[in-house]
Structure 1
Amino acid sequence: MEADITAVQIADSVINAKPIINNRNVVIYIKPGELDLKDYALNFDLTPGATIVPASGSKQDFTKPVFYEVTSEDGQFSKRYAVSLLESSVPTAFDFELFGQDEKKNWVYFYENVEGIPQSLWASGNSGFAFTAGNNPTMQSYPTQVTEEEEYVVNGKHALYLETKSTGFLGGMVKKPIAAGNLFIGSVFTKSIIDIQTRFGLPFNHVPDSFEGYYQYTPGKKVIDKNGKEVLTTDECDIYAVLFDRVALMKATENDAVDPARTWLNDQDVLTSPHIVAIAKIENSAATPNAMQKFHVPFEFKRQISKAEAESFQYSIAIVLSSSKYGAIFQGAVGSKLIVDNLKINVK
């Protein structure tokens, strides 16, 4: 935390979403044609005393990712960031073949190649779970993983594997005894185990028609609530996609004290925001047979939108996948497993 990019200074008038900053990437969705990507300067805020190379405010060629090295004030810590300015949209197909592992804590992260540029548009709770993962965690220690088992892989070599995990003694102390395996389009801002903010949705320039893919779900044996007490129910998974009016959301939250002019949905309103335009959600979230099942669900529109509005990047989309439906309130069954592969958003 002594060698971080903490913020990017860029005019709201040229971006489609607030800059996304995580441990290794900075991604900024910009409005097409607004900037000269071959010769543009970004200014960064850093942790106190830290320095950055290339220098903040220096012009760079952002037609490809630019790599910056941040060094702490005492010179003992450094971090390398790939900074991307993107004029593109969230893609429409996902096969979970592209992923990496955190070099220190071994948790898996997923990305997509769009127009030849790796985009960190997927996020999970793995970075927060790292606080409780111990000193030498493996990939399998985490709630969000990848699997190569042939029975789960529809195409390619890999499928997404989500498993609800116990957060141990530390998690129980702060009334967060479980961590659902999850993956979603958006980003995570993690301060500590008790301060983790999920930000759902990134720019999308299509009118969606339906949402499809393959999944298998096996619930764990015992559902517990945030207090660690048993709940007499069976765990369920969650698989859905949400299209929302990002421009209207920004205007509505312009004077918000916590997240002014936000461009994302959060845990509280991802399914209830008045700015949601359409939702596609699987109805059967209970256990499935022991084979990958195909699902195909139409988007249900709350109001009609035009193709021109979509193409002007007025909307954002979030895809949300979770091994415990109520994982956001820390209720679920340890051992619940959701495997997903070959997701696709069919567009009009």
Structure 2
Amino acid sequence: MNILKKISFCMVAIFAMYGCQKEPLNAECDIVEASLPTELLSKAPIVENRSVTFIIKDDVELTALAPEFTLTPGATIEPPSGTVRDFSTPQEYTVYSEDGKWHKTYTVTVKYVELALEYSFENVKVGNTNSFKYDVFYEMNPDGGESFTWASGNSGFALTGLGKDGPSSFPTFQRNDGKDGKALCLVTRKTGTFGTRFDKPLAAGNLYIGLFELGIALRDPRGATKFGMPFNMIPLSMKGSFKYKPGEQYCIFDKSYEGKLRPIEGMVDRFNIYAVLFDRTPPAGTPESEAVKFEYLNGDNVLSEDNEQIICVAEIPNEMRVATPNWKEFDIPFIYRPGKSIDTEKLQQGMYSITIVFSSSIDGDYFSGAEGSTLIVDNVELVCRKLGSTPQSDF
């Protein structure tokens, strides 16, 4: 009996000892959310891997703002959350993990609703996912500052392990033989064993104004493409130049077929170029937790006929979606959806967003198209007018 008591006592002591041990400290050092007072913002803050962007209303002063940040558990930030700083230029914040072993520096930018209107695709920086490097396109303002960064599915393609030969082996990259200078090049590519395993055997080259949310790309690829950026002008048309060569064999996604791509004889791949202006205002009565869903369009609704957010669309006509070995110009007017018009008050408040989308395969978002289809684009321009003005020549 005494032995049993001793054994029981030892077991209780052991359990107590382990129970008193501290959990390991958190090694994460991320900004999870960022905020400024709602009345200052034109749209929800954009939090990415090493950057935070606030887009503010035109009457907000940049020189004394105090953004607040929600961090991963236990992490700290320098300067502290809520510190008043001058955001006339981007500011850096460093997040330190709870265990003190890791840190990450974020660049926080505050800017007004502004968007470059001419796109020559001359500027790229290096993106890096899983040690694979690819082109990330960006545009400049007339004053030399960066206007915005284009989004693409390149970071998702990097997961396939097929980008070993550098940026030109990705679906979206820069070419040196543009109509003037450099150009955007989009190529539809197979995704290999990795993509086939996840029912995504084909990746169209794409580029668009918005965000690509890599974290949900495998389970919700069309939801991962988030289209739109605040816009405060009235779009009239979109013009530019392109060349197109469809791939040799058009295939549709078919789980039952070898490689999950079923050839369709006689069908020829087509590309797409379009722009969409849409209203980000949530319908009356929308809970605050649901309002964020209206900040962007996605691959399921960006061209939907029943999408009440869409105001007007400029889309290249079907008769132009053909093989075009030489540079061909396009000039596409914005067509308003039935019953839709621009609310001048919303326009002034920055409540509209616009996206421009290029794709080497029109059905690429459904993993259908022709391997090797190639769309080259250059000298794109949004023709717009500012509220209260009539001439177009300024743009």
TM-score (normalizing by structure 1): 0.89
Match of 1:301 in 2: 336
1:63-82 to structure 2, matched below 5 A, reads: 63-82=88-107
Task: Tell me the equivalent position of 1:98.
Answer: 123
Distance 1:139 1:330 in 2: 21
| Deviation digits for residues 184-215 of structure 1 (CA, Å, limit 9, x no counterpart) | 11112221551451111111111111110011
Change (3 A) 1:177 1:59: same
- Matched residue type, 1:187: L
What's 2:271 paired with? 237
Q: CA deviation at 1:119?
A: 3.6
Distance 1:49 1:41 in 2: 21
Please, what TM-score do these two structures have when normalized by structure 2?
Answer: 0.79
Deviates more, 1:309-318 or 1:157-166: 309-318
RMSD: 2.4
Q: Do the aligned partners of 1:92 and 1:345 also contact (CA within 8 Å) in 2?
A: yes
1:181–1:259: structure 2 CA closer, same or farther, 3 Å change rule?
Answer: farther
Please point out which of 9, 15, 20 is paired with 2:46. 20
Distance 1:313 1:192 in 2: 28
Larger deviation, residues 297-306 vs 58-67: 297-306
Distance in 2, matches of 1:217 and 1:313, equals: 35
Q: Following TM superposition, by how much is the alpha carbon of 1:252 offset from its aligned partner in structure 2, in angstroms?
A: 6.0
Matched, 1:131 2:159: yes
**Counterpart check, 1:328 vs 2:365:** yes
The verdict on how the C-alpha distance between 1:44 and 1:339 changes in structure 2, with shifts beyond 3 A counting, is same
Per the TM alignment, residue 71 of structure 1 is displaced from its structure 2 partner at its CA by 3.9
- Structure exhibiting the larger radius of gyration computed from Cα positions: 2
- Quote the residue 2:194 is aligned against: 170
Deviation of 1:126 (Å): 1.1
Match of 1:291 in 2: 326
The range that moved more, 37-46 or 172-181, is 37-46
In the TM superposition, what is the alpha-carbon distance from 1:85 to its structure 2 partner? Answer: 1.0
The one of 246, 254, 263 aligned to 2:286: 254
Q: Which residue of 1 aligns with 2:21?
A: none
Q: Is the 8 A contact 1:160 1:341 kept in 2?
A: yes
**How big is the shift at 1:229?**
2.7
Structure 2 vs 1, CA of residues 257 and 343 (structure 1 numbering), >3 Å: closer, same or farther?
same
The question of 1:209 aligning with 2:243 is answered: no
Once the two structures are TM-superposed, the CA of residue 143 in structure 1 deviates from its matched residue by 1.0
Asked if residue 142 in structure 1 is aligned to residue 170 in structure 2, the reply is yes
324-333 vs 69-78, greater mean Cα deviation? 69-78
CA distance in 2, matches of 1:26, 1:47: 15
In structure 2, do the counterparts of structure 1 residues 141 and 203 end up closer, same or farther at CA, with 3 Å as the change threshold?
A: same
Q: Closer, same or farther in 2 for the Cα pair 1:192/1:77, shift >3 Å?
A: farther
Structure 2 Cα separation of the partners of residues 69 and 256 of structure 1: 30
1:337 aligns with 2:368: no
Once residues 209 and 216 of structure 2 are traced to their aligned partners in structure 1, the CA distance between those partners, rounded to angstroms, is 21
Consecutive unaligned residues in structure 2, runs of 5 or more: 1-26, 386-395
Q: Residue in 2 aligned with 1:281?
A: 315
1:27-66: CA deviations, max 9, x gaps?
22111123x3212111122333433333322222111111
Aligned equivalents of 2:355, 2:77: Cα separation in 1: 33
SS in 1 for 2:326: coil
Aligned residues: 341
For residue 166 of structure 1, report the CA deviation from its aligned partner: 1.5
> AA paired with 2:326?
A
Structure 1 residues 222, 169: closer, same or farther in 2, change over 3 A?
same
The secondary structure found in structure 2 opposite 1:191 is: helix
> Taking structure 1 as reference, are residues 341 and 75 closer, same or farther at Cα in structure 2, changes over 3 Å only?
farther
Within a 5 Å distance, the mapping from 1:45-124 to structure 2 comes to 45-103=70-128, 104-114=131-141, 115-124=143-152
8 Å CA contact retained: 1:253, 1:261: no
Identity of aligned residues (%): 36
Give the corresponding residue for 1:263. Answer: 295
**How far does residue 261 in structure 1 lie from its aligned partner after superposition?**
4.9
| Distance in 2, Cα, partners of 1:136 & 1:263 | 35
Query: Aligned partners of 1:2 and 1:144: how far apart in 2?
Result: 31
In 2 relative to 1, CA 313–174 (structure 1 residues): closer, same or farther, beyond 3 Å?
A: same
Contact (CA 8 Å) 1:67, 1:83: kept in 2 or not?
yes
SS at 1:242 equivalent? strand
Aligned counterpart for 1:218 among listed residues 232, 245, 251: 245
